[in-house]
Amino acid sequence: MAKAARPSSTSSPGSLLPADRARRESIRLLLQAEVYDPLTYRFLVDAGLQSGMRVLDIGSGLGSVSHLVSEIVGPEGSVVRVERSAELVTLAEHLTRRAGITNVRYVVGDAESLALSSPFDAMVGRFVLRELNNLTEAFRSLLRLLAPGAIVAFQEKVISVPVTSSPRLASVEKVRSWMDQARARAGVEVSMGAKLPQVFVSAGLPPPELRFEAPIGYAVDWVGYDYLVEMVRGMLPLIQLYGIASEQEIGLDMLADEMRSEAEASRGVVILTPCIGAWAVFSADSQETGYLHDHS
Ligand SMILES: C[S@@+](CC[C@H](N)C(=O)[O-])C[C@H]1O[C@@H](n2cnc3c(N)ncnc32)[C@H](O)[C@@H]1O
């Protein structure tokens, strides 16, 4: 898997121009993909994605999940990815071309009001449901795009489970504390992963199969440290707004090295935010009967 570009600039996201913000967001998404893609690949295979399927990828960002799906479904299959950010789509198309992937196409638009005709054999999404406004309604209408027997497979983080290290490393604890405090003050949704079964059942799907997995790192060149730094960088405006820590205290430039050298000295492991994956099989009548009326 290609390595993401390592960040270098120290400017605060709050003061960035839109193009620079999109660039920062892209760096974060690429690092996130490097950390979570192995988990997602295993999850999608477990969920039953296979060669020849036509798959819909919701909230595809830079297209990392669709690239994994493309590999699983092979040249006989295809992926349609839906993303509302035109800037991300332009970058994603470039990445897809560069990777020589030809069975993926993009729809720029809002997943909450999609008009697509072909029925899909599977619908997937990673870390997107948390961002939908009318989640249950949107999810239910997305199910109408599926063929009977289609697989529905989504992954979401469980942010309420803290980033941790063993033995406890002071640098990782600092990062965890800044992020947790900022999220708590901002009222961020922290348990979307745990809500997946409820979302599935409320939309008329059967109770889903579940997976729980967290990225864990030991090697000194592990990309997880760079990802944590990008997370803190993205939250810097909130961290500063709430007076949690100053940019100087945080020292973004040195933070990854600090975590790396502490982890190396203690021979410790660092465990990032886990995610829950849920999958179920859609049957044409599940929206009309059974589960929906029993559980909603
Ligand atoms: C956290 S990113 C995850 C991207 C990608 N799934 C991944 O794992 O790399 C969530 C993405 O969903 C997109 N998104 C959020 N709401 C959307 C909507 N209603 N319609 C289409 N895309 C949406 C965002 O623009 C963003 O690119």
DSSP string, 199-244: HHHHTTPPPPEEEEE--EE-STT-THHHHHHHHHHHHHHHHHHTTS
Phi, psi torsion values for 124, nearest 5 degrees: -130, 165
Beta bridge partner(s), residue 269: 166
In the chain, domain spans: 16-295
Ligand 1: centre distance to CA 252 (Å): 26
Confidence of residue 16 (pLDDT cuts 50, 70, 90): low
Give yes or no for residue 24 CB within 6 A of ligand 1: no
Q: What atom of ligand 1 comes closest to residue 110's alpha carbon?
A: 20
| Nearest CA, atom 1, ligand 1 | 127
Alpha carbon distance 89, 60 (integer Å): 9
Confidence of residue 3 (pLDDT cuts 50, 70, 90): very low
Is the predicted pLDDT of residue 293 greater than 60, yes or no?
A: no
Confidence of residue 36 (pLDDT cuts 50, 70, 90): very high
Ligand 1 site-directed mutation target among 114, 116, 128, 129, most atoms within 8 Å of CB:
128
| Nearest CA, atom 26, ligand 1 | 61
Share of the chain above pLDDT 90, in %: 83
CB 68 within 8 Å of CB 40: yes
Is the predicted pLDDT of residue 289 greater than 70, yes or no?
A: no
For 248, counting Cβ atoms within 10 Å of its Cβ (0-12 exposed, 13-18 middle, 19+ buried), the class is exposed
Task: Give the 3-state secondary structure of residue 279.
Answer: strand
| Nearest CA, atom 10, ligand 1 | 128
* Tokens representing residue 130 in the block: 């948390």
Q: What is the pLDDT of residues 198-253, one digit of tens each?
A: 999 999 999 999 999 999 999 999 999 999 999 999 999 999 999 999 999 999 99
Amino acid at 28: R
Confidence of residue 5 (pLDDT cuts 50, 70, 90): very low
Q: What is the pLDDT of residues 45-72, one digit of tens each?
A: 999 999 999 999 999 999 999 999 999 9
**CATH homologous superfamily of domain 16-295?**
Vaccinia Virus protein VP39 (3.40.50.150)
Is the predicted pLDDT of residue 125 greater than 90, yes or no?
A: yes
Give yes or no for residue 87 CB within 6 A of ligand 1: no
Give yes or no for residue 131 CB within 6 A of ligand 1: yes
